[in-house]
Amino acid sequence: MKKSVYSMCGMCTVRCPIRVESQDNKVTWIEGNQHQLGGALCAKGTAGVAMMNDTERPQQPLIRVGDRGAGRWRKASWDEAFDFITDKLKTIKKDFGPESVVLSSRGGPWQGMYKAFIHAYGSPNYTNHDCTCGRNTHHASLSLNGVGRKGFAYDIKNAKHLVLFGRDMFSALRIAENNQTLDMLENGGRLTYVDVRQTMTGVKASRFFQVRPGTDYALALGVIHQVIKKGYYDKDFLDRYVTGFEDLCSFVEEYTPAWAAKECDVKEKDIIAFVEEIGQDRPNVIFHPGWNLARYNDSFYASRAMHILNVLMGNIEMKGGLFIPKGAGDCGKKGIRSIDCGKPDIKRADGVGWEYKHFDKGPGLAHLFFNRMISEDPYPIKAWIAMRHDPFSGMPDPEKQKLAMDKCDLLVSIDTNYSEFGWYSDIILPESTYLERDTPIVQQKGLKPRLTLRRKAVEPINDTKSSCEIFTTLAHRLGLEETFPFTNMEELWAWQLEPTGYTMADFDEKGFIELTDSPIFYDREKLDGQFKTPSGKIEILSEKLDTNNLPSLKPFVGPDKAPEKGMFRLIYGKVAIHTQGHTTNNPLLSELMPTNTLWVHTKRAKKLGIVSGDLLEVSSADKSYNATVAAHVTDHIHPDAVFTTHGFGKDIPKQTRSYLAGLSDQKLMIGKLDHWDKAGGGVNLCEAFVHVKKSIRNTKRRAEL
């Protein structure tokens, strides 16, 4: 039978809208939803079928029989798997209290369901991946604007100038954003790109700054200085909605473009010319606060500087600028119901909310659990459930994490693949791939808010279940029906839609329900109340930071120095054909890019006697971990750094295509769990250094092996 469904791609967390055709339970076609993406998809999006059909993914629940990490498993029925987990969770609750269970997930629109599960069980310890992703940027926005990093969206298409600091968007894709940027460029808009190396985005840019690693904050301060000096800011907006501008003016006085140029290894005249451009293009200039610049010591302050630059441009709540995402209420409509449960009134084990009072308590900070698990302070942690999260790939120093995880009686991985954490865990619950599962309905905020959902294109081809089924069943077995008051998807959808007046049939035409016909902008004269700070204004000086002994305007210090001469800073990034660590074993994508390499600057390579293709030995700063990878010698990287693509160096024999292929950046980041930004909370992943030398293993011999 032929079928066509609207759904959402699941090959990365962008979740592009798609349409999938199938015949006799086989997927025959995937394309981007014509109504939103005009059919476009990225290479990963088209590799979804290969993932679904891959036999190197878990195909039924698996219970560990050997030692942790030994890779010996026995197949189990779902009934047995649910019993295994619920029995252990009941015993742990009885012996250690419900707070001794942590649940981590990869955030996203369904995290409310996972959070509700762990809260209903009685633990406050929900966490997510964001300490290694956008936490600094999030906290920077909160401290300034009173709303987090998702409190603003960007109307790139209508902008005149997009400024990206290490936001390599044409590798680290979001299709809609890429399309908007291409439209902006076609309309004559400018793109300024800042990175420590040349990238897919840099080559499309009208201006490129190759900076010394970790100096974005200096560049931003130099730009702010010049913007203020030239008067290229929106005085009316500042008067109306912003406090602390005078303090900013005196703070940046010493940070001249000449100073910034020296710190960043760029030319003063280029900074001045750039400021002239944004002077012409404002207010339609967008500074993206980025992600990767958010992983250095001072990234919280670098991100704050980006947010401040947006404020100076006066680009908030306008076409071609930043806008506040709108929801059902803004359309005069009632919102959907979502699974929810209040947080238990117990201290979090990561210290967020009591020891660290200025951080968002929602997901806390995942890296702060590990030391506390080892010391059992404030209480022991006895179970870790990882839902669509691989702490051993997404967070540094997996060996240290294992010491903490060994304190647990139960490690659960809910994953579509074997993750590095899953391989070490006690039980793997295989989730059906995105093509084989339904999800709850979600609201997508924006200028035109909408309701959408993922719907299965085919029935699961293996003995797998959706996370919604998994959490609902676990909840029912643990007596938590009050939080999960439904038994199947149809009941859940009906319960969610009930207040809205819409029905499931309303999704049929386009795959989503638009809550309004035309974009909603707020009146710029009436933005009071939109900034959720104590004063209701955008606060350049934050009282919350002050009471936590943190400056609002921090003098530039610069990144860490290499501990020894000759070492390199290890930086990393994404490529357009892989997602984090979980597509390197995909049958199609592994063919397109089977391994990573290490980029080394030509001059440094020459000194080391390295040419492209040579095998290199790369060691962690303390030399306790070594790996071998091929060199990519290039002029297009700052000489202080080496660069690799994240997601390789996997150690899971069951995944034959990615097994030991390439280099793992996170395994080289020894000690980095304890190296984090006290103001922003993010892990300083980019402050890691490595030793690099030519390997004694020659390429020819390796090829023969």
Ligand X SMILES: Nc1nc2c(c(=O)[nH]1)N[C@H]1C(S)=C(S)[C@@H](COP(=O)(O)OP(=O)(O)OC[C@H]3O[C@@H](n4cnc5c(=O)[nH]c(N)nc54)[C@H](O)[C@@H]3O)O[C@H]1N2
Residue 221 contact among ligand SF4, Mo ion, ligand X, none, beta carbon within 5 to 8 Å by kind: none
- For residues 368 and 355, what is the distance between their CA atoms, to the nearest angstrom? 11
Write the single-letter amino acid at 221: L
Interface positions with ligand X (CB under 6 A):
10, 12-13, 106, 129, 132-133, 165-169, 171-173, 194-197, 199, 211, 213-214, 216, 290-293, 388-390, 393-394, 414-417, 419, 431, 434, 467, 571-574, 576, 578-582, 643, 646, 665-666, 685-686
CB of 176 to ligand X, least distance (A): 12
Cβ(672)–Cβ(650) below 8 Å: no
Applying CB under 5 A, does 366 fall inside the site for Mo ion?
no
CB of 5 to ligand X, least distance (A): 17
Applying CB under 6 A, does 169 fall inside the site for ligand SF4?
no
Nearer to ligand SF4, 181 or 530 (CB): 181
Size of the site for Mo ion (CB under 5 A): 1
CB of 134 to Mo ion, least distance (A): 6
Applying CB under 6 A, does 15 fall inside the site for ligand SF4?
yes
- For residues 14 and 171, what is the distance between their CA atoms, to the nearest angstrom? 13
One symbol per residue from 39 to 78: x for binding ligand SF4 (CB under 6 A), - otherwise; what is it? --xx-xx---------------------------------
**How are beta strands 410-415 and 73-75 bridged, if at all?**
unpaired
- For residues 325 and 310, what is the distance between their CA atoms, to the nearest angstrom? 16
The helix/strand/coil state of 464 is coil
Nearer to ligand SF4, 299 or 466 (CB): 466
Residue 165 pairs in a beta bridge with 194
Interface stretch with Mo ion, choices 84-92, 128-136, 183-191, 451-459 (CB under 5 A): 128-136
Residue 533 contact among Mo ion, ligand X, ligand SF4, none, beta carbon within 5 to 8 Å by kind: none
If you write DSSP's letter for every residue of 211-273 in order, what string do you get?
PPTT-HHHHHHHHHHHHHHHT-S-HHHHHHHEE-HHHHHHHHTT--HHHHHHHHTS-HHHHHH
- Determine the distance from the C-alpha atom of residue 373 to the mean position of all C-alpha atoms in its chain, rounded to a whole number: 24
CB of 175 to ligand SF4, least distance (A): 5
CB of 520 to ligand X, least distance (A): 27
Nearer to ligand SF4, 47 or 600 (CB): 47
Applying CB under 6 A, does 576 fall inside the site for ligand SF4?
no
Nearer to Mo ion, 133 or 685 (CB): 133
Residue 673 contact among Mo ion, ligand X, ligand SF4, none, beta carbon within 5 to 8 Å by kind: none
The helix/strand/coil state of 487 is coil
Q: Which tokens in the block code for residue 282?
A: 């404002």
Going by C-alpha positions, the residue among 49, 532, 97, 657 that lies closest to residue 349 is 97
Angle at 153 between CA 151 and CA 159, to 5 degrees: 145
Which uninterrupted H or E stretch holds 444?
strand 442-444
Side-chain-facing half-sphere of 404: CA atoms under 13 Å: 27
Applying CB under 6 A, does 478 fall inside the site for ligand SF4?
no
Interface stretch with Mo ion, choices 129-137, 159-167, 210-218, 508-516 (CB under 5 A): 129-137
Nearer to ligand X, 165 or 370 (CB): 165
Nearer to Mo ion, 119 or 167 (CB): 167
Name the residue whose CB lies closest to Mo ion: 133
- For residues 624 and 93, what is the distance between their CA atoms, to the nearest angstrom? 38
Applying CB under 5 A, does 133 fall inside the site for Mo ion?
yes
Q: Which tokens in the block code for residue 22?
A: 């199938």
Q: Which residues contact 447 (CB under 8 A, 6 or more apart)?
A: 153, 155, 323, 325, 326, 519, 520, 521
CB of 46 to ligand SF4, least distance (A): 8
Write the single-letter amino acid at 425: S
Residue 293 contact among ligand SF4, Mo ion, ligand X, none, beta carbon within 5 to 8 Å by kind: ligand X
Among 5, 6, 7, 12, the residue binding ligand SF4 under the rule CB under 6 A is 12
Nearer to ligand X, 55 or 549 (CB): 55
Interface stretch with ligand SF4, choices 14-22, 49-57, 307-315, 615-623 (CB under 6 A): 14-22
Going by C-alpha positions, the residue among 157, 162, 530, 533 that lies closest to residue 324 is 530
Going by C-alpha positions, the residue among 48, 14, 108 that lies closest to residue 435 is 48
Nearer to ligand SF4, 181 or 401 (CB): 181
Interface stretch with ligand SF4, choices 5-13, 107-115, 337-345, 536-544 (CB under 6 A): 5-13
Q: In what order do the strands lie in the sheet with 442-444?
A: 442-444, 450-452, 512-514
Nearer to Mo ion, 133 or 365 (CB): 133
State the angle between helix axes of 299-313 and 216-230 in degrees (0 to 180), rounded to the nearest 10: 20
Residues in the chain, total: 705
* Interface residue list for ligand SF4 (CB under 6 A): 9, 11-12, 14-16, 41-42, 44-45, 173, 175
